[in-house]
């Protein structure tokens, strides 16, 4: 490099070192130590991350030989962006799991695949610093501008780097051939340990990855359908049989409609979807909430005794409001994604800034149910959520509370078909337990049937039992929620598209969406 000035020499030394670092350390370490010594095999996503690093290393070698051509620089940034995406995709499914859980071995306290994000981020930073060496009158600036590509001389250090890099690339290709096989064989998401016994390795080769191309989705392969709310969210794959006799239980009891009550509250008339109802026995008062998170307290469904309109947009996502319940005097508003917030009537003064942050409109005397106090004087409304384990892949459509715990029941989907009862302590709203719903000894289940196609859209507690309403088969289920057992079932008549229910003494109030797109209250006798 005698023909290069000092600045150019610094650039090429810097670039050679960067190539050595990206290929020798992450790629070489993973290939030689983890692969050949530790017998750890990379999964499909690991290969995608490793291939991106190899391509960037090769681009660096091309710059050593032909100068910093614009096409090489652009490709480095593009592949670094690709690598960051692959790294995030790989690690995202493990970030929310308990401490220490992950795949494979660790490097400096972190699982190896998590380092992809760091490595590719360093590539962007290093490339940015490298570009600072390209000065106005340098040969590298001419390389950027010239159409003719000129071969650059290589010093000993650059030659050694290229030789090491070439050996690392060839070694990775050899490892890929042994583990994955020749095309059309591909990698595995859960690979087997590396061995040079080809009688064993050939039995692990698979072509399963190609089948995924026929099911391509930008959302991924494990995304369940949204919840069903008539006229608001109607997933195409969901169909609902309303005939109770076609359900899993032999039902001989039914509940007849007593009365239909229209909702005539003026404050709610401008909102298209009233989604949930709950009853507060302390104040002998109902509360209704729309999907836009407009809340109205009422005693007769004709007039409002308190009204607020939440600022729904700002805060944790609560796209679909599905049910509501009271915990003491707190009106809890639950969304399908296990996120909830609420309101509480109060005679105490409400901080004006807190009120403004939480509500777009208010009739006064209503506070957010949850808020934090900062530095002794600043309030901020909050929304809570429940992190579950068994029901992680399920939405919910029902919330209920006995005061000590709040209960949620999942709705089944194509990936997780079980009905799961999750419950959280009302002291800290952290998950206390999850149980898969079963059937009590005295309830008859049809031969060859199970309960997991019931679609529970509302629940409430009555006489130490839970009443849960299933949209599918128009059935009211009586649940011993302490033991997670369905102990009785009733056909419930004259429902169109129920959304939520509330129990007041010996009466059940069901919020129903009629087929002519009107939300009404249908009143039934409580069978308990």
Please name which of 73, 81, 168 lies closest in space to residue 120, comparing C-alpha atoms: 81
Q: What is the average per-residue pLDDT within 344-367?
A: 93
Beta bridge mates, 308: 295, 362
User: Cα–Cα distance between 153 and 185 in angstroms, integer?
Assistant: 41
Q: Summarize the confidence of residues 155-161 as an average pLDDT.
A: 91
CA distance 332 to 334: 6
- Cα gap 81→416, rounded to integer Å: 34
Q: What pLDDT shows up at residue 219?
A: 57
Whole-number pLDDT of residue 222: 66
Task: Over range 156-160, report the average pLDDT.
Answer: 92
Instruction: Quick: pLDDT tens for 461-493.
Output: 999 999 999 999 999 999 999 999 999 999 999
CA distance 491 to 243: 9
Average pLDDT over residues 25-43: 86
Tokens of 153: 């001389």
CA neighbours closer than 13 Å in the CB half-sphere of residue 189: 5
pLDDT-wise least confident of 48-57, 108-117, 190-199, 373-382: 373-382
Burial class (CB in 10 A: 0-12, 13-18, 19+), 322: buried
Region 520-528: what's the mean pLDDT?
96
Q: 397 falls in which pLDDT band (50, 70, 90)?
A: very high
Instruction: Please state, as a whole number, how many other Cβ atoms lie within 10 Å of the Cβ of residue 55.
Output: 17
Both tokens assigned to 466: 């839970």
- Given a cut of 60, whether residue 21 has pLDDT beyond it is yes
Q: Chain-centre distance of CA 521, in angstroms?
A: 33
CA–CA separation, 10 and 458 (whole Å): 69
Helix/strand/coil percentages in the chain, nearest 5: 30, 30, 40
pLDDT value of residue 4: 63
Element of type H or E holding 400? strand 396-401
**Predicted model pTM:** 0.77
Q: Which residue has the higher pLDDT, 137 or 51?
A: 51
pLDDT of 376 > 70? The answer is no
Backbone angles phi, psi at 10, to 5 degrees: -60, -40
Q: Is the pLDDT of residue 212 over 80?
A: no
pLDDT of residue 432: 96
> Closest Cα partner for 460 from 433, 429, 498?
498
- What confidence score (pLDDT) does residue 2 get? 45
The whole-chain average pLDDT of the chain stands at 90
In tens, the pLDDT along 53-98 reads 999 999 999 988 888 888 888 999 999 999 999 999 888 877 766 6
pLDDT of 454 higher than 70: yes
pLDDT of residue 130: 81
Section 424-432 average pLDDT: 95
- First-to-last C-alpha distance (Å) of the chain: 91
The pLDDT assigned to 8 comes to 74
Residue 295 has what pLDDT? 98
> Is residue 190 scored above 80 in pLDDT?
no
Residue 188: name the closest of 326, 362, 47, 29 by CA. 47
Phi-psi region of 474 (alpha: psi -120 to 50; beta: other; left: phi over 0): left
Residues composing the chain: 528
- Calpha distance 495→471 (Å, rounded): 9
pLDDT at res. 1: 42
Pairwise CA distance, residues 202 & 249, whole Å: 50
pLDDT above 70: residue 220: no
Segment 271-277 shows an average pLDDT of 96
DSSP codes joined into one string, 13-55: HHHHHHHHHHIIIIIHIIIIIIIIIT-PPP-HHHHHHHHHHHH
Q: Provide the 3-class DSSP secondary structure of residue 277.
A: strand
Q: What are the φ/ψ torsions at residue 343 (nearest 5 degrees)?
A: -135, 165
113-141 mean pLDDT: 83
**Stretch 421-431: mean pLDDT:** 95
Contact 22, 119 (CB under 8 A): yes
């Amino acid at each position: 490099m005698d023909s290069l000035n000092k600045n150019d020499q610094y650039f090429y030394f810097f670039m050679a070192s960067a190539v050595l670092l990206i290929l020798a350390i992450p790629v070489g370490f993973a290939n030689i130590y983890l692969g050949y010594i530790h017998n750890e095999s990379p999964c499909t996503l690991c290969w995608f991350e490793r291939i991106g690093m190899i391509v960037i290393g090769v681009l660096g070698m091309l710059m050593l030989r032909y100068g910093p051509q614009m096409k090489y620089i652009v490709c480095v940034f593009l592949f670094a962006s690709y690598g960051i995406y692959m790294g995030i995709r790989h690690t995202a499914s493990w970030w929310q799991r308990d401490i220490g859980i992950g795949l494979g071995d660790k490097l400096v306290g972190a699982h190896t695949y998590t380092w992809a994000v760091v490595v590719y981020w360093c590539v962007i930073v290093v490339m940015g610093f490298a570009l600072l060496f390209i000065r106005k009158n340098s040969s590298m600036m001419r390389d950027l501008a010239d159409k003719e590509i000129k071969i650059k001389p290589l010093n000993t250090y650059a030659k050694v780097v290229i030789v090491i890099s070439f050996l690392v690339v060839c070694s990775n290709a050899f490892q890929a051939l042994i583990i994955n096989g020749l095309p059309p064989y591909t990698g595995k998401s859960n690979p087997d340990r590396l061995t040079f016994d080809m009688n064993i390795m050939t039995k692990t080769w698979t072509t399963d990855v190609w089948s995924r191309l026929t099911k391509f989705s930008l959302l991924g392969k494990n995304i369940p359908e949204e919840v069903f709310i008539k006229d608001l969210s109607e997933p195409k794959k969901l169909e609902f049989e309303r005939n109770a006799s076609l359900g899993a239980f032999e039902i001989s009891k039914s509940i007849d409609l007593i009365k239909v009550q229209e909702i005539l509250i003026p404050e709610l008339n401008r909102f298209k979807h009233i989604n949930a109802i709950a009853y507060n026995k302390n104040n002998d008062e109902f509360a209704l909430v729309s999907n836009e998170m407009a809340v109205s307290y009422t005693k007769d469904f004709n007039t409002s005794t308190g009204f607020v309109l939440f600022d729904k947009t700002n805060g944790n996502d609560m796209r679909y409001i599905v049910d509501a319940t009271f915990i003491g005097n707190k009106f809890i508003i639950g969304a399908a994604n296990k996120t909830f917030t609420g309101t509480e009537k109060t005679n105490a003064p409400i901080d004006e800034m807190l009120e403004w942050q939480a509500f777009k409109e208010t009739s006064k005397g209503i506070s957010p149910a949850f808020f934090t106090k900062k530095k002794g004087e600043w309030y901020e409304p909050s929304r809570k959520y429940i992190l579950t384990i068994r029901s992680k892949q399920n939405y919910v459509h029902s919330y209920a509370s006995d005061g000590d715990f709040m209960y949620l029941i999942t709705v089944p989907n194509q990936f997780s078909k079980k009905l799961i009862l999750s419950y959280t302590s009302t002291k800290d709203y952290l998950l206390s337990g999850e149980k898969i719903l079963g059937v009590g000894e005295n309830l008859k289940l049809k031969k060859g049937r199970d309960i997991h196609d019931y679609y529970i859209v509302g629940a409430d507690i009555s006489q130490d039992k839970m009443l849960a309403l299933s949209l599918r088969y128009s059935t009211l289920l009586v649940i011993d929620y302490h033991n997670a057992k369905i102990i009785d079932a009733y056909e419930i008549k004259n429902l169109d598209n129920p959304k939520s229910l509330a129990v007041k003494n010996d009466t059940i109030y069901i919020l129903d969406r009629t087929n002519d797109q009107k939300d009404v209250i249908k009143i039934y006798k409580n069978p308990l």
